[in-house]
Amino acid sequence: MNIKGLIFDCDGTLADTMPMHWQAWQVINRRYQLEFPEDRFYALGGVPSRDILRLLAREQGLELDPLAVAREKEAEYLKLMARVNPIPEVTAIVRANHGRRPMAVASGGARHVIEMVLRRLELRDHFQAVVTCEDVVRQKPAPDIYLEAARRIGVPPGLCRVYEDSETGLAGARAAGMTVVDVRELRRLSSAA
C-alpha cells in the first residue's frame, strides 16, 4: 500500500503528556469529589475532557458544568506545560516526513492546548492541519476526526496512516479505513532494542 498522508494523535503519541493530564485530573477529582481512577483515565484516552465530565456527572449523579470544569482541568494542565517532552520514536517520523508527505494532527484535546504543545515541541510548522474536538461533532472512537484530517490534507482515507496510543483512537482510525500504528508497540520495540 502506498501511504500518501500521515495523521498523528498528540497526547501520548507526539508528546509525553498523559502523566501531566492525569495530575490535572487528580486536582479536579479532589475539587469535585469525582471517582475517576487512573486505569479508567487511560482507557478513555482521546476522549475530550468535557465528554468525560458529562459521563462522570451522569454516572455519579453530580451537578456540574462539564465545559467550565473542563476549562479548569485545562488550566491545571497548562501549569505543567514546561514539563512536556516529545516522544522521540514518533517525532522522528514527523521530522523525517516533513516536506515529503502531508501530515495532520487529530486530537481529542482543545485547540489552544494542542497548538501550545506542538509549539513547545517545535513541530507546529510540520503539520498542514490540526483537527481537534472542536472541529467535529462525534469524537473518538467515531472516525470523524480522522476523516476531517484526511480531507484537510487532501488525501483519501485509505491512503492515510494514523499514529495513535489509545484503543479509542485506534478504533476510530480503523473505522475511517486508515492504516494504524500503535505507538505503544513502537515504544516497546524501541526500548527493547
Catalytic residues: 9
| Furthest C-alpha separation in the chain | 50
Cα–Cα distance, 46 to 37 (Å, whole number): 16
Burial of 63 (0-12, 13-18, 19+ CB in 10 A): exposed
Cα–Cα distance, 164 to 60 (Å, whole number): 30
